[in-house]
Chain A
Amino acid sequence: MSRIQARFTALQAQSRKALIPYITAGDPRSDTTVPMMHAMVTAGADIIELGVPFSDPMADGPVIQAACERALANGVALSDVLAMVRSFREEDTETPVVLMGYLNPIEVMDYSVFARQAREAGVDGVLTVDLPPEEGYQLTTALQEEGVDAVFLLAPTSTEARIAKICAAASGFVYYVSLKGVTGAATLDVEEVRNKLALIRSATSLPIGVGFGIKDASTAAAIAEIADAVVVGSAVVKKFEQYASAPNKIEGEVVSLLTSMRQAMDQIGH
C-alpha cells in the first residue's frame, strides 16, 4: 500500500479528514524547507504538498508567484527539491509528500529520470499543474512504473466526460479546484463544491482533496465536512510573504494557522 493510500485509510478509520498544506520549496531559504515540513507535520499536516518553483507559474496567483521568485532567487532547481525530500525522509518515513509544479523543469530532467529520482527521494505523488491527462500519458506511465502517484486537477468547468477521463488516469487522490481562478483567489461557494463533489464521487473511489480559496479555520472546517482532504496553499505562503523581513517568525505563524485549521477540522461531526 502506498504512503498516500495508507494515510487516507488510517484517517478514514478515525473519521478524520486530511490537512494538506502547500509551501514552495526554497522559500525563504533552501535550508528552511525541511525543518518547516517537520513543523507542519507536528502541527497536524497529514500530507505535504511541496511546490517546485517555476519562472512562469501561470495557474498561480500573486502570492505563490512571489514565492516562486524568492525560491528561484536562491537558485532552487528541481534536483534541489528532490534533495529536500530525501533529507525529510531521514526523519519522517510516514508522511506522504506530493510535488506540485509545472511541466517544463520535468521535461528538462527527462520523464523517466525524474520518476526514478522522485521515487528514490521518497516522493509519493506528483501534480503537474499544466499537464492534463490528454498530454500526460508518457509522464503518468513513467511515474506509475516507479510507483509514484500521478495526481490530477478537476475544476468547476470539468464536464462529466472529462471527470471520468481524469479519474481514470489519476491515482492517490484527485484534487478539486474549488473555484474558477488562480490560487489564492476570492471566496468559495461551499454548496457549489458539494454538488460537484457528488458528481466526482460517482466517477471514482479515490479520495478527493479540495483546494483554492481555503483561508482559515472556518473555511477549512466547511470543506472538511464534504471532502476527504483540505488543501491550503496561499494562506500558508502568505505568512512567508508577511514575515519576509523576520523569517524566524514564519514557522510559528504557519504552525499556529495549521493548528487552528486542524482543531476546527477535527471538531466537525463531534
Chain B
Amino acid sequence: MKKSSQASMVMPEVVLPDENGHFGAYGGRFVAETLMAPLEELRQAYETFSQDPGFLEELDWDLTYFVGRPSPLYHAERWSEGLGGAQIYLKREDLNHTGAHKVNNTVGQALIAKRMGKTRVIAETGAGQHGVATATVAARFGMECVVYMGAEDIQRQAINVYRMRLLGAEVVPVESGSRTLKDALNEAMRDWVTNVDTTFYIIGTVAGPHPYPAMVRDFQAIIGREARAQILEQAGRLPDALIACVGGGSNAIGLFYPFLGDELVSMYGVEGGGDGLNTGRHAAPLCAGRPGVLHGNRTYLMEDSNGQIIETHSVSAGLDYPGVGPEHAWLKDSGRAKYVAATDDEALSAFHGLTRIEGIMPALESSHALAYAVKLAPQLSKDQIIVINLSGRGDKDIHTVAARQGITL
C-alpha cells in the first residue's frame, strides 16, 4: 500500500486572501458583472468541498493512484558536487502522470466540477501542459472538454495538441491579439460567460479572479507539504532556500506556501528572462513590470505606458505570460519571497547540465529554476540545502532545444 499523500488542506498561519480575494493590494475580482454570480457560486462550492471529508478522501485517492503521489524528493548529489556548494534536492513533479505539476490542480477542479453537476470543462493553455492535464481528467471523469490555445502556440506545440485530441478534447485555435496564452485565457473567459450554466472553467495557474488564485494554490500546496515532510525525513532539517520558476506561478506557490511560516527558509521565484531584462524582450513582470489589472485580478503586469498589455518573450512557452499570480505580487512587496530572472541561455545551459549529470531531463520552465540554483548554490556551504521544484519533464521541449542547436528532428 502506497503511503498517503496527505491531501488534507491544513493551512499555515498566514491566511490570505481575505474574504474578497485580496492579497494585500493584489488579487480581487475584476470581471464583467455576468461572471460575478458564478464566481461567488464557485467560491462557496470550493469552501464547502475543501472542508468535506468525502471530497478530500476522493481527491487523496486520485492523487495517490491516478497521479502517482507522493512524488519523490531526490538528492541531486552529482549536480550539487559539480556546483560546489549547497546540497540540492529536486521535488520530482516531472514524475507525475502527464509529466508536470499541472495535474494536481486539474484533478482537484474536475472533482469540484463533478460535484457542482457541470458536464463540460474548458481550459486555456500555453505550452499545452495544462491543456493536456485538463483533457486527461476530462477523459478520466467522462466530461466534455474544450481547450483554447493561441494559434501561435499550436504551431509551436504540435505534439501536445495531438495528445489533447487523442484524449478526446476539442482544441480551439485563438487568432486574436498576440495569439498566445493571454489571448487563450480571454477566449476561455468568453466561452465561460456564454455557457456558464453547464460549464466549469479550469484555470491552470494561480491567476484570474477570486477564488481561483487561492483554490489553485491550495491544490498545488501538496507539493510543499510533501517536500517539507520529505526533507525533514531525509536531511533532518528544513532547507535554507526554495527555488521555483514563475510564469503564472502555480508550481512556485505550491512549493512556497507550506513554508511561509518557516522564517529561516528563503524563497526564490525565477521568471523568464528571455534575451535579458535590459533588452525588454522577456517575461518577467515581477522583476521588470508594474502593478495593473488583467484577467480578473490586480497584479504585476508587462504593459506599455498606456496600460496596454505587451507581448512577452521566453524560450519556455509555459513562462510566456504577461501577468503573474497576485499572491506572488504580495510576497514580492512584503519581501517574504525574492523574484529574479534567468535568461533563455542560462535556462538552456541548466537544461543540458542536469540532463547530462543527473540523467533527468527537465522542462524548459523548470530549467529556469535550475539556472538560478547554478548561481545560488556556490554561495552557500556544503551543509546547506536548496529544494528546487522540478515542475515538469523536458520531453515536450526537445524540438525547441534541438532547434537552438541548429538541429532539425
Interface residue B33 (Cβ < 8 Å from any Cβ of A): yes
Contact, CB under 8 Å: B293 / A153: no
Stretch at the interface among B71-79, B89-97, B186-194, B355-363: B186-194
- Contacting residue for A157 out of B28, B36, B291, CB 8 A: B36
Known contacts A104-B303, A105-B306, A181-B194; is-contact A132 B34 (Cβ 8 Å):
no
Contact, CB under 8 Å: B182 / A155: no
Contact, CB under 8 Å: A104 / B193: no
Interface residue A135 (Cβ < 8 Å from any Cβ of B): yes
Contact residues in B for A57 (Cβ distance below 8 Å): 186
- Contacting residue for B37 out of A61, A72, A107, A159, CB 8 A: A159
The smallest C-beta distance from A212 to any residue of chain B, in angstroms, reads 9
The smallest C-beta distance from A184 to any residue of chain B, in angstroms, reads 11
Known contacts A135-B30, A155-B32; is-contact A56 B306 (Cβ 8 Å):
no
Contact residues in B for A135 (Cβ distance below 8 Å): 28-30
Contact, CB under 8 Å: A155 / B33: yes
Interface residue B308 (Cβ < 8 Å from any Cβ of A): yes
Contact, CB under 8 Å: A108 / B309: no
Interface residue B292 (Cβ < 8 Å from any Cβ of A): yes
- Contacting residue for A155 out of B34, B291, B303, CB 8 A: B34
Main SS of chain A's interface residues?
A: loop
B189's nearest neighbour on chain A, judged by CB, is: A58
| B276-334 with Cβ < 8 A to chain A | 291-296, 301, 303, 305-310
A103 to B34, CA, bound (A): 17
A77 to B37, CA, bound (A): 32
B20's nearest neighbour on chain A, judged by CB, is: A134
Contact, CB under 8 Å: A129 / B32: yes
Interface residue A177 (Cβ < 8 Å from any Cβ of B): yes
Interface residue A88 (Cβ < 8 Å from any Cβ of B): no
Contact, CB under 8 Å: B29 / A58: no
Contact residues in A for B30 (Cβ distance below 8 Å): 103, 130-132, 135
Contact, CB under 8 Å: A56 / B194: no
Contact residues in A for B68 (Cβ distance below 8 Å): none
Contact, CB under 8 Å: B194 / A152: no
Q: Mark A122-150, 1 if CB is under 8 A from B, else 0.
A: 00000001111011000000000000000
A106 to B366, CA, bound (A): 36
Interface residue B31 (Cβ < 8 Å from any Cβ of A): yes
- Contacting residue for B33 out of A58, A102, A158, CB 8 A: A158
Interface residue A252 (Cβ < 8 Å from any Cβ of B): no
The smallest C-beta distance from B23 to any residue of chain A, in angstroms, reads 14
Interface residue A180 (Cβ < 8 Å from any Cβ of B): yes
Contact residues in A for B183 (Cβ distance below 8 Å): 56
Known contacts A56-B309, A104-B293, A181-B194; is-contact A132 B177 (Cβ 8 Å):
no
Q: Mark A178-208, 1 if CB is under 8 A from B, else 0.
A: 0011100110000000000000000000000
Chain A interface, number of residues (Cβ within 8 angstroms): 45
Interface residue A254 (Cβ < 8 Å from any Cβ of B): no
A202 to B295, CA, bound (A): 33
Most A CB within 10 A of own CB, among B29, B30, B296: B30
A60's nearest neighbour on chain B, judged by CB, is: B190
Contact, CB under 8 Å: B190 / A182: yes
| B156-180 with Cβ < 8 A to chain A | 176-177
Contact, CB under 8 Å: B36 / A158: yes
| Contact-residue size bin, chain B (C-beta under 8 Å from the other chain) | 35 or more
Contact residues in A for B197 (Cβ distance below 8 Å): 180
Contact residues in B for A156 (Cβ distance below 8 Å): 34
Contact, CB under 8 Å: A154 / B33: yes
Q: Mark B259-289, 1 if CB is under 8 A from A, else 0.
A: 0000000000000000000000000000000
Contact residues in B for A153 (Cβ distance below 8 Å): 32-34
Contact residues in A for B38 (Cβ distance below 8 Å): 157
Known contacts A157-B34, A182-B194; is-contact A132 B29 (Cβ 8 Å):
yes
- Contacting residue for B176 out of A62, A104, A132, CB 8 A: A62
Contact residues in B for A129 (Cβ distance below 8 Å): 32
A54's nearest neighbour on chain B, judged by CB, is: B308
Interface residue B196 (Cβ < 8 Å from any Cβ of A): yes
Contact, CB under 8 Å: B177 / A56: yes
- Contacting residue for B194 out of A58, A158, A159, A180, CB 8 A: A180
The smallest C-beta distance from B45 to any residue of chain A, in angstroms, reads 15
B34's nearest neighbour on chain A, judged by CB, is: A155
- Other than the given A59-B193, A69-B176, A103-B30, 19 more pairs (CB < 8 A) read A55-B177, A56-B309, A61-B190, A78-B306, A104-B307, A104-B309, A107-B293, A108-B303, A130-B296, A132-B33, A135-B29, A155-B32, A155-B37, A157-B196, A177-B33, A180-B193, A181-B193, A181-B194, A182-B190
Seen from chain A, the residues whose Cβ lies within 8 Å of a Cβ on chain B are 54-59, 61-62, 65-66, 69, 72, 77-79, 102-109, 129-132, 134-135, 152-159, 162, 166, 177, 180-182, 185-186
| Complex A-B: 16 CB contacts under 8 Å | A55-B308, A55-B309, A59-B32, A59-B34, A65-B177, A69-B176, A78-B307, A103-B293, A107-B307, A108-B303, A132-B33, A132-B36, A155-B32, A155-B34, A157-B38, A180-B194
7 closest residue pairs by CB, A with B: A108-B307, A105-B307, A77-B306, A59-B32, A155-B34, A181-B194, A157-B37
